[in-house]
């Protein structure tokens, strides 16, 4: 149970960092297939599915709500080392994907290679336009904005669940990243200080967004399961392309001025730590 909570926390933190994919973290930690199956069979296999989903979701909530402050501090003071830590977490999952690809018993063909290249280009391409937040989203509570938050939640859920695609980066491109993060921070602070108006304001924004995420995950998880069932080689090669592109996306979205000899050398250490954590949690 503790290990599953830790995996959920890693996935949760990954989803709030531009360039880092929660789906990729789920793959590297060896729980992606199991999580997708649990979501798509939650009605038929309710008890078994909830045993998988509850600790992961609870861990993700802890990661987003509790560790977001820590991650914000680390990125503000040790951006290179923190980036390398997540790159290590991502690369640590490559052996799992390679083993899954080998287990299909099918040879990699030109079509599989094209799938890997296409999804590699998608992630790098998104990173190339993901630096500007744009105008802050209007979340004044009215019908149109509530509907927008729901739709944004659906889109965000898809990018969160697809390995290699950063949900936070997509939110940034749509102009909702800072708004959502600030709302989460305000909601937590208001809850801790028993500020009822602040809590209600947070609920007004986060509820339609959260419902959109749940609906999106249910629909997109089913599509992903279908792809894995009908074309596993294409799916795993596409994920390989996504995973290989993720470290490049993280570096592209970071402040290159922060890179120097000392930061890179210490970054190598945090990379090793991330790699070992990924390998250990995946066991």
Q: What pLDDT is recorded for position 132?
A: 45
Among residues 233, 221, 213, 273, the alpha carbon closest in space to that of 34 is found at: 221
Q: What is the pLDDT of residues 45-75, one digit of tens each?
A: 888 889 888 988 888 888 777 776 777 788 7
Q: Which of 7-11, 85-89, 251-255, 263-267 has the lowest mean pLDDT?
A: 251-255
Q: What pLDDT is recorded for position 185?
A: 80
The dihedrals phi and psi of 193, each to the nearest 5 degrees, come to -100, 10
Q: What is the pLDDT of residues 157-214, one digit of tens each?
A: 776 677 666 677 677 666 677 788 788 888 888 988 888 888 898 888 889 998 998 8
Q: In this structure, how many other beta carbons lie within 10 angstroms of the beta carbon of residue 73?
A: 11
Q: What pLDDT is recorded for position 91?
A: 84
The three-state secondary structure class of 30 is coil
Q: Which of 11-15, 54-58, 73-77, 99-103 has the lowest mean pLDDT?
A: 11-15
| Residue 238's pLDDT band (cuts 50, 70, 90) | confident
The three-state secondary structure class of 78 is coil
Q: What pLDDT is recorded for position 134?
A: 45
Q: What does the alpha-carbon distance between residue 37 and residue 212 come to, in Å, rounded to a whole number? A: 20
């Amino acid at each position: 149970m503790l290990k599953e909570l830790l995996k959920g926390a890693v996935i949760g933190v990954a989803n709030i960092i531009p360039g880092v994919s929660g789906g990729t973290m789920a793959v590297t930690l060896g729980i992606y297939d199991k999580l997708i199956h649990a979501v798509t069979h939650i009605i038929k296999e309710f008890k078994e599915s909830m045993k998988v989903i509850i600790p992961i979701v609870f861990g993700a909530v802890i990661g987003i709500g509790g560790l977001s402050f820590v991650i914000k501090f680390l990125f503000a003071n040790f951006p290179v080392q923190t980036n390398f830590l997540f790159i290590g977490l991502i690369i640590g999952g490559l052996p799992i994907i390679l083993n899954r690809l080998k287990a299909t018993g099918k040879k990699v063909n030109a079509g599989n290679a094209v799938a890997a290249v296409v999804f590699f280009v998608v992630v790098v391409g998104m990173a190339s336009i993901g630096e500007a937040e744009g105008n802050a989203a209007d979340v004044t509570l009215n019908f149109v904005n509530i509907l927008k938050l729901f739709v944004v939640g659906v889109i965000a859920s898809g990018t969160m669940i697809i390995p290699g695609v950063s949900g936070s980066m997509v939110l940034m491109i749509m102009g909702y990243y800072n708004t959502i993060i600030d709302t989460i921070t305000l909601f937590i602070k208001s809850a801790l200080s028993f500020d009822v108006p602040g809590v209600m304001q947070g609920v007004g924004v986060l509820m339609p967004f959260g419902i959109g995420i749940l609906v999106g995950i249910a629909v997109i998880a089913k599509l992903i399961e279908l792809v894995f069932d009908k074309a596993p080689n294409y799916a795993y090669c596409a994920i390989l392309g996504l995973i290989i592109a993720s470290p490049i996306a993280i570096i592209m979205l970071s402040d290159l001025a922060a890179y120097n000899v000392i930061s890179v050398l210490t970054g190598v250490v945090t990379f090793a730590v991330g790699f070992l954590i990924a390998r250990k949690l995946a066991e």
